[in-house]
Structures are given as structure tokens and as C-alpha cells.
A and B are shown apart, each in its own frame.
Chain A
Amino acid sequence: EVQLLESGGGLVQPGGSLRLSCVASGFTLSNYAMNWVRQAPGKGLEWVSCIRSSGVSTVNEDSVRGRFTISRDNSKNTLYLQMNSLRAEDTAVYYCTNLYDPSRGSFHDYWGQGTLVTVSS
């Protein structure tokens, strides 16, 4: 069974840091580019970051550039999102997904259940 399991969310003060992890099982993570997509409470979807299958190339949404870093360890079948200098507006459920692979222009549909990040004092 294919599964993506996110962890690492929680309550953090403004300016703080968190590291999200997403462990893949049932498929080989290294075969796919991976993305983080977030959803603020009661709001719509927002793409955050993408990393190609090799991990060499990454792309980030403007509001997180310089603060968030996406990375992966294919040997551990794990995707990461290091989030620094967190702001209240980063409060959201964060999903890892293989939705889009820019190298191939292909679309896929593996999603985790999400992990909630709350930035508040």
C-alpha cells in the first residue's frame, strides 16, 4: 500500500523553526519529484516548494524563499521541509505530494494526510 506519512508539525513561536518529514512507503521515492503544498485553516491550497527526483534542483514559492528549504534523502525514502523564521501566515496543514514532476511534465496523485503547523505566541 502506498503511503506518505508527514510528521514534525506543531506549535512554534514567530521567528522559530520546524523541520517537517515525509516518509514514503509502498513506492520508491527516488522515482518522483516531490512537492509541499499547504492549506491555511479554512482556506485554499498553496504550493510551497518542489524538488526534482535527484534532489539537485529545487523551486520555492516567493513568500518562503530564503526561509524554507526542501530536501530529500532517497536512501531513507524521506522528504524534508526545513522551515526557519516562521511567521503567523505560515500557519497551515502541510501536505507532501508527488503531484507534479517538472522534469517530465507529468502528474501523479500520492498525498500524505498532512501535518499542522501553528505559528503563534
Chain B
Amino acid sequence: DIVMTQTPLSSPVTLGQPASISCRSSQSLVHSNGHTYLSWLQQRPGQPPRLLLYEISNRFSGVPDRFSGSGAGTDFTLKISRVEAEDVGVYYCMQATQFPLTFGGGTKVEIK
């Protein structure tokens, strides 16, 4: 199975300031078809998860452009350019390059 490792575990951020979350996979996420199936999900307190980004950097419908993704191979980053109050929650990276789909352990974003 591909192991996904996220850092940090927790990220206290001042409103309006940027936040960054890293995700590393135990092996390359480049699929044989050339796509890299790395996604980012957000889970607000008491809510189901929500898809933010797929294939590293593609924002899903309705996701604000303050969320961006980058990376390649085994190292990926989610950035929030200016954190807003509604961004509080836990963020997960997820790989779908091979089954089983696996998630990172999560990074809690909270307001200082």
C-alpha cells in the first residue's frame, strides 16, 4: 500500500496569513497513464469531507482560488494564500494512483 505522510499535524494560523501543508507518498504517484492522482480534501468540524483539489493542482468546482496545489512524484504541497475563518478544519491528502486509495493522517488548521 502507498503510505501518505502529512506535515505538520497542526497549523495555527493568523487570519489573512498563508498556510502550507506538505504531503509525501512512499512511492511515486505517477500512474502508468501519466496522470498523478493526488488530491486534497477539507473536513470542517462535524461535516463530511469535501474535495478541494485533484491531480495535484486542479481546483474542484466552487473551490476558492486561495487554495492551490503543487508538487510532483512523491512530494506535494497545499497552500492557502490567505486563511479565512471558514478554512478551519482538517485537511487530508489522498492518492488514487493505485488501490487501495490511501489518505494522509490529516493536518488541523486552526486560527491563532
Q: A44-B106, A105-B35 are in contact. Are A111 and B49 (CB under 8 A)?
A: yes
A27 at the interface (CB under 8 A from B): no
| Residue of B39, B43, B99, B104 touching A107 (CB-CB under 8 A) | B39
Q: Is the interface of B mostly helix, strand, loop or mixed?
A: loop
B binding-site residues for A, Cβ under 8 Å: 1, 31, 33, 35, 37, 39, 41, 43, 48-51, 54-55, 60-61, 90, 92, 94, 96, 99-106
Q: Can you name the residue of chain A whose Cβ is closest to the Cβ of B103?
A: A45
Query: How many of chain A's residues have a CB under 8 angstroms from any CB in B?
Result: 23
Complex Cα distance, B101 from A45, in Å, reads 10
Q: Does A9 contact B (CB under 8 A)?
A: no
The answer to whether A105 and B37 touch across the interface, beta carbons within 8 angstroms, is: yes
B105 touches A109 (CB 8 A): no
Any chain B CB within 8 A of the CB of A73? Answer: no
Question: A residues near B, CB below 8 A?
Answer: 35, 37, 44-47, 50, 59, 61-62, 95, 97, 99-100, 102, 105, 107-109, 111-114
Instruction: Tell me whether B99 and A45 are in contact (CB under 8 A).
Output: no
- B60 near A47: Cβ-Cβ < 8 Å: no
B4 closest partner in A (C-beta): A44
Max count, chain B CB within 10 A of own CB: residue among A59, A108, A109: A109
B50–A44 touching, CB < 8 Å: no
Please determine whether A113 and B48 come into contact, CB atoms closer than 8 angstroms: yes
